[in-house]
Structure 1
Amino acid sequence: MKLVSEKRRILVLDKDSRMLSVVDDIMNYGDFDIHIMYDANMVYDTAKQINPDLIILDYLLLDNDCQLICQDFKNDSEMEAIPIIVVTAFKTRKSKADSYKCDALFVKPLDMNVLASRIDYLIAS
Structure 2
Amino acid sequence: MVKRILVLDDNQDILAIVHETLTYENFEVKSTGESAEVMPLIEEFNPDLVILDYRVAGTNGGELCRKIKLHPQYCNVPVIIFSAYINHEADLLAYGCDAIINKPFDLTELVEKVNNLINN
TM-score between both structures, scaled by the size of structure 2: 0.88
For residue 20 of structure 1, the aligned residue among 16, 19, 33 is 16
For residue 104 of structure 1, the aligned residue among 72, 75, 99 is 99
In 2, Cα distance between equivalents of 1:35 and 1:27: 10
The RMSD of aligned alpha carbons is 1.6
Structure 2 equivalent of residue 3 of structure 1: none
In 2, Cα distance between equivalents of 1:118 and 1:16: 21
In 1, Cα distance between equivalents of 2:109 and 2:37: 29
Contact 2:19 2:30 (C-alpha < 8 Å) held by counterparts: no
Task: Write the deviation string for residues 83-117 of structure 1: whole angstroms up to 9, x where unpaired.
Answer: 10111122223232321210100101212222212
Secondary structure at the counterpart of residue 19 of structure 1: helix
Give the fraction of aligned pairs with identical amino acids, expressed as a percent: 27
In 2, Cα distance between equivalents of 1:84 and 1:20: 19
Structure 2 equivalent of residue 75 of structure 1: 70
Contact 2:62 2:92 (C-alpha < 8 Å) held by counterparts: no
Runs of 4+ displaced beyond 3 Å:
none
TM-score between both structures, scaled by the size of structure 1: 0.85
Contact 1:94 1:107 (C-alpha < 8 Å) held by counterparts: no
Q: Number of aligned pairs?
A: 119
Task: Write the deviation string for residues 32-77 of structure 1: whole angstroms up to 9, x where unpaired.
Answer: 1110112211211111111101101111110112211111110111
Unpaired segments ≥5 residues, structure 2: none
Rg comparison, structure with higher value: 1
